Amino acid sequence: MISVCSARAIQAAPSIQLFFPRNRGRISYDVLRIATNHSARCSGSDECGETLPEPTTNYAGMRLEEIVKTNSGKVRIDSWISCRIDGISRARVQSSIRAGLVSVNGRVIEKASHNVKAGDKINCTISELQPLRAEPEDIDLDIVYEDEHVLVVNKPAHMVVHPAPGNATGTLVNAILNHCSLPMVTTTNEELLSDMDISDDELNSIEILSSRVSEAPIRPGIVHRIDKGTSGLLVVAKDEHAHAHLSAQFKQHSIERVYISLTCGVPPSTAGRIEVPIGRDPNNRIRMSAVSRTNNNSHAKYAASRYKVIENLAQGGFSLVEWRLETGRTHQIRAHAKYMGIPLLGDEVYGGTKSMAMSLLRTRTSSSSHSQLMQLVSSLERPCLHALTLGFIHPHTGKNIRFSCPPPTDFAEILGQLRQISTKKVTKS
């Protein structure tokens, strides 16, 4: 049984001793910047030996003139251009389109959704970076734990962690700035904060790179992320020491992270480990893809997840699955679940669609209940994924602390409905 939010102290462990001024109740301004010596030491490769991307120019003024050679169906112009300028984000291309800097056959294009076809002559000039501001906002936070060094929050589904083009307000960072009484933060780092692949493993490295191209990345205290649609626990650093210490724990994969999900279908075994690299899906920039080692995808990165089936639901149509991450790649659980053939319920991007859910339910339930189930499934607006447990060594006390929070109402309601059809316990949660 999942209990209410709780913290549990375990065996004490020594912490890294660094001296930084304490700052009760506020996030240090130093957290908004990366130390110069650390940036220099990490340039070129991270502490795990992975090569970091070289910092690029901001692309401003870059020109593209090209004729579309083949017609591969409906291809949006923003997607077509972003695939031809290595490293640029789709959001940056869209900004250039809005600025009137993209034309097709001599006619300025106003919509990023414009479809290109074979023979079209494309002219594009990349626009200047626009400042992106994060302002304090009075947004309620579900605070699970707080002291002068760290803050643990239970993030609701649909809240973005940090501002980006299209999500400049209402984010966790906006709420943190207000909670800790910090002023507005401004950055010109639109590129790195848009739709770039930033996993938990890579987040610290990206902050180092961003410090080279902007004055202050707007991620005060953020050392890891969870997707917009994912609910659950997230830790925030409130001073430089805590930020460095927690970032190191994430890079060493010593942070305990346990997720639970509802999957369409049942895993092939009750427990297992999946070790399949994850990279950007070449056909869809907002989606990641788990690829086998035989697949020639040089951008795919090592990823490993362990899973355990807790419960079989609705006569084997669905399952409650626990996940433990060994790495922190972008969309890791969602991509691995799709690879296994058990996409997360409600995950329209990775195959766990409403139509798939209803097709599984129709064959396992009486026709009289279909209308009610259709209404329930239709109300799902996110993947059924929840960050259940978070454990780490406290940066200042050296104690191993652990927190748990049950899933929110939308997750609990559909779990309850599936249990009413049928349930079979497999392993203890």
Instruction: Tell me the angle at which helices 370-378 and 409-421 cross, rounded to the nearest 10 degrees.
Output: 160
Residue 227 designated active-site: yes
Q: Cβ distance 110 to 371 under 8 Å?
A: no
Which residues are within 8 A (CB) of 64 and not within 5 positions of it... i.e. 6 or more apart? 81, 84, 85, 122, 123, 124, 125
* 153 within 8 A of 141, measured Cβ to Cβ: yes
Contact 293, 277 (CB under 8 A): yes
Q: What share of the chain is helix, strand, coil (3-state, %, to 5)?
A: 25, 25, 50
Tell me the C-alpha distance between 118 and 163, whole Å: 37
Strand partners, 203: none
DSSP calls for 306-334: EEEEEEEEGGGTEEEEEEEESS--TTHHH
Name the catalytic one among 78, 195, 227, 347: 227
Query: 143 near 151, Cβ under 8 Å?
Result: yes
Distance (Å, whole) CA 169 – CA 171: 6
Give CA–CA dist 170/159, Å, rounded: 7
- DSSP, residue by residue, 118-131: TTPEEEEEPPPPPP
Q: How far apart are CA 201 and CA 398, in angstroms?
A: 22
Contacts of 61 (CB under 8 A, 6+ apart): 125, 126, 128
Strand duo 318-325 + 63-67: pairing: unpaired
Distance, in Å, from the CA atom of 137 to the CA atom of 169, rounded to the nearest integer, reads 8
CA 246 to chain CA mean position, Å: 18
Q: Tokens at residue 332, please?
A: 């890791």
CA 297 to chain centre: 21
Contact 40, 30 (CB under 8 A): no
Report, as residue numbers or ranges, the catalytic residues: 227
